[in-house]
Amino acid sequence: MRPTLIAFDVDGVLLQPKSSWNTIHNYFGVKNEESLRAFLKGEIGYQEFIDRDVNLWLRKKEHITRGDFHKIAKDIQPNPNFHYLKEFLKEFMGHKIAISGGIDVIVSKVEQYFDLDEIYSNALVFENDVLVGGTAVVNPHEKGAFLEKYKGHKVSIGDSEWDKDMFKNSDYSILFNSDSDFDFVDCIIRGNDLRDLTRVLKDLK
């Protein structure tokens, strides 16, 4: 059945960095392994996970502005041959959305390259252009919930186990540019060439 909705993960799928969070962590020279372990064990919720990450940055630099994040994001590029996917999405008649567990200051770069109807991602909070916190919007373990508002035949594309809930709530799932293979997807595309992804999407009937 021809899809009526295509849902994309962003980090590693549409954009080259595998993690927008890690991109920011690297910029500030911090690591969040302790918080990640606590989140994966269920010891903290996703909002606290985000709060801890933001506080890591603020301990490194007390006054962080939007301009700092513009610097981080300016060199981020889409995956190779993005224009093939861009042209396909222009002609696609269904809904085109992105569901990202990443952070909006990086994820929003997709707007420069792709025509999408909605982009869901976690958000940083600023007061007078100064960073004061973050808001959990997309828990990576609950990405499938964003598909519930759409009807019809749903296709999702992700690059990791973080996308499992989105895959589970789709009619057809594509693992793209992944470091691992999983048996809970319908199609695996190795590498990060968006021309290969576009061919698969065009062939869906």
Q: Which residues contact 163 (CB under 8 A, 6 or more apart)?
A: 9, 140, 143, 156, 175
CA dihedral (160, 161, 162, 164) positive or negative: positive
Q: Encoding tokens for residue 96?
A: 């085109």
* Three-state DSSP class for residue 80: coil
In the chain, which stretches have pLDDT less than 70? none
Q: Which residues contact 150 (CB under 8 A, 6 or more apart)?
A: 4, 5, 95, 97
Distance separating alpha carbons of residues 124 and 64, to the nearest angstrom: 11
pTM over 0.85: yes
* Three-state DSSP class for residue 5: strand
* Three-state DSSP class for residue 155: strand
Q: Nearest-CA neighbor of 134 among 56, 50, 73?
A: 50
pLDDT reported for residue 55? 97
CATH code at 5-203: 3.40.50.1000
Q: pLDDT tens digits, residue range 30-46?
A: 999 999 999 999 999 99
pLDDT reported for residue 179? 87
Beginning with the edge strand found earlier in the chain, give each strand of the sheet holding 130-135 in spatial order: 130-135, 118-127, 95-103, 5-8, 154-158, 172-176, 187-189
DSSP, residue by residue, 103-128:
EHHHHGGGGGT---SEEEEEEEEEET
pLDDT reported for residue 31? 94
pLDDT reported for residue 135? 98
Tell me the pairing of strands 5-8 and 172-176. unpaired
Tally of CA atoms within 13 A in the half-sphere of 147 that contains its CB: 27
Domain layout of the chain by residue ranges: 5-203
